[in-house]
Amino acid sequence: MNIKRAKQEIKDTIQAYLKKDEDGSYVIPRIRQRPILLIGPPGVGKTQIMEQISQECQIGLVSYTITHHTRQSAIGLPFIEKRQFGGKEFSATEYTMSEIVASVYEKMRTTGLDEGILFIDEINCVSETLAPAMLQFLQGKCFGNHQIPEGWVIAAAGNPPEYNKSVREFDIVTLDRIRRIDVEPDFDAWKEYAVQANIHPAIEAYLSARPQNFSRIETTVDGKLFVTPRGWEDLSWILSVYDQIGMAADRELVSEYVQFPKIARDFAGYLELYRKYQNDYQVERILEGKTPMEVYEKLERAAFDERVSVVGILLSGLNERLRRVSSMGERMEMQQKELRELGKAEVFGLGEREKTGTGGAAICAFSHMTEAFRGRWEKKRENGLLSREALKTCRDVSVSLEDQLLELQKMGLFTAEEVWKKIQEMFGEDSDRYEALLENAGQGLEYAFDFMEAAFGNGQEMALFLTELNTGFYSVGFLQEYECERYYQYNQNLLFSEEEREIGRQIEKGMGKM
């Protein structure tokens, strides 16, 4: 299965394992909570989804790469303990607590989270001396004499033997006690993630045209040649920063991340063309409805690959506008939730028609709310429970609330009613800015359709444009709020065309059997 499906499987499993009955006991007993074992090629995202699941489920995460550990750090160090057996005293060997088990308890202590995921990476690449401890861990959920705390789900990951010479195969006894999930690279699943993760548009456009280069590992006389999803994402980060500081990426830089010379050369060449297309086609002007006529003339002479690249650049520019709408929408929703809770405070009359508190008390309540909100998200950040995007949203909301607090303090308002009206007014101003941003993005979409119609009509490029709108994370959310007649019209035509092609395929298939 692909990594997106695997992530959902693990989330569902965690919810099932952590389900409690009316007595507070876990519905699925500990002995029946099978550890999850992810097996897949390197760089496919096995480790990354564990962080995402932890954040989305708001549970702890302790992660270890087991190849970095010895038998002593995994099961503890031995020491001599005096024991009484049959009325006589004997020296017996005990073990200190495993470093791994101790880290779980430490996570619980520092975060206050009693439930979480213990993730062991590269579990099938352990040394000969550590292998028995790993089997004991998977079978008995313990290291040495120390059990993993109840409420902590065990997950592990490893590579198939064709990718790593150190891989050890598990026996049937062990495999019969785990949930094995095999994952494979899937470009379509990764592409959905790429939009949210702001993967560099040149990489997204290149892989859309050459999906076969998304993940490849080959053994040649010159050694291993490979390119992985992780390699593309890491390359994306450096390319984005190079863009910001005005530095040009060359083939040597690309080959440091894409260790498959032919693909590295191909992408480096494409990257140069992508920069040229950006300058030639001036996407921002297209999205503002100011497309120069020479752009249409140039497209008439362009090869299909170039036309597809232009569609990709257009979608990238459009997605950036839609991303800003989504980001501000999330900030508004979070801020509105905080203000609703503030409105229930005693100083504001607990829902009465008249606000009975003083202006100073109301501003003080607003200040406490602002401080409490910052404290909550900073605690989550310290515990690793906020994604990069969620952290930015929380920071933006804090800045907005603190700016509003300063504004309230400068105004000299005398009653809680005046304070509340001012709060509503400031939120209304934010709401107006959001509506303007929404309208601007919608106008950009309309101009994008103007361009697509004039440049490509009902060609394959329009079908590609619609397909991306139908599957894009930000575009799907945006089109639920913004009504675009041409989107629905073209999308309906696309669906009819696909149905006709499917009927044709079925007829041909039936004729072939006759």
450-480 pLDDT tens trace: 998 888 888 888 888 888 888 888 888 888 8
Query: Which pLDDT belongs to residue 130?
Result: 74
- Strand bridging mode 60-65 / 116-121: parallel
Report the pLDDT value the prediction gives residue 282, as an integer from 0 to 100: 84
Asked whether 41 and 101 are in contact (CB, 8 A), the reply is no
Cβ–Cβ contacts within 10 Å for residue 293, how many?
Answer: 8
Which residue carries 């009927």 as its tokens? 503
Helix (H) or strand (E) holding 182: strand 179-182
Q: How many beta carbons lie within 10 A of that of residue 74, not counting itself?
A: 23
> DSSP label at 178?
S
**pLDDT digit string (tens) for 374-419?**
999 999 998 888 888 899 999 999 999 999 999 988 887 778 888 8
Residue 1 near residue 9, CB atoms below 8 Å: yes
Residue 108 belongs to what H/E stretch?
A: helix 99-111
What is d(CA 161, CA 169) in angstroms, rounded to the nearest whole number? 8
Q: Which residue, 334, 345, 315, is CA-closest to 380?
A: 334
**Closest-CA residue to 160 (of 177, 178, 185):** 185
- Could you give phi then psi for residue 112, rounded to 5 degrees? 75, 10
Cα–Cα distance for residue pair 399/405, rounded to 1 Å: 10
For 213, phi then psi, to 5°, come to -95, 10
Predicted pLDDT at 425: 92
The phi and psi torsions of 291 (rounded to 5 degrees) equal: -65, 120
pTM: 0.78
Give the CA angle between residues 255, 260, 265 to the nearest 5°. 60
Dist. CA 205–CA 267, nearest whole Å:
10
| Distance separating alpha carbons of residues 508 and 514, to the nearest angstrom | 10
Q: What are phi and psi of 421, to 5 degrees?
A: -65, -40
**C-alpha–C-alpha distance, residues 67 and 125, integer Å:** 7
Question: How open is the CA angle 61-64-69, to the nearest 5 degrees?
Answer: 155
**CA 390 – CA 396 distance, rounded (Å):** 10
> Would you state the pLDDT for residue 238?
92
Distances (CA, A) of 316 to 33, 69, 92, 214, 448: 44, 44, 67, 19, 11
SS3 for 37? strand
- Which segments of the chain have a pLDDT < 50? 350-353, 499-508, 510-514
In angstroms, the CA 401 to CA 199 distance is: 31
């394992």: which residue's tokens? 17
Question: Is 252 in a helix, a strand, or coil?
Answer: helix
